[in-house]
Amino acid sequence: MRYYAGARAAAGVESEQVALAGGGTVDDVLTVLRARHGTRLSEVLTASSLLLDEVAVRDRTQRPADGSVLDVLPPFAGG
């Protein structure tokens, strides 16, 4: 896991590892993260885009391979 901007602030870490028994889905990873970090990160995850190995996640039932990197990109403001 790698967190950016508000997701990093909500998680309190820049990155972390998530291990799932039996090879879970992207949704399973998000469930673990919500339990680990609570409401603040859960709210950010709801609004965030996800990249799995630098490719946008369109299907959260996708199963990440061992060693995959999931990036959490919250909405960015700016101009």
Predicted confidence (pLDDT) per residue in 31-46, tens digit: 999 999 999 999 999 9
CATH class of the structural domain 2-73: alpha beta
- pLDDT at residue number 77: 56
What number is the average pLDDT over the span 48-66? 95
Q: What are the start-end ranges of the H helices in 20-60?
A: 26-37, 39-47
CA distance 70 to 4: 11
- Report the predicted TM-score, pTM, of the whole model to 2 decimal places: 0.88
The CA distance from 26 to 75, in Å, is 19
Q: Is the pLDDT of residue 76 over 90?
A: no
pLDDT level of residue 22 (50, 70, 90 thresholds): confident
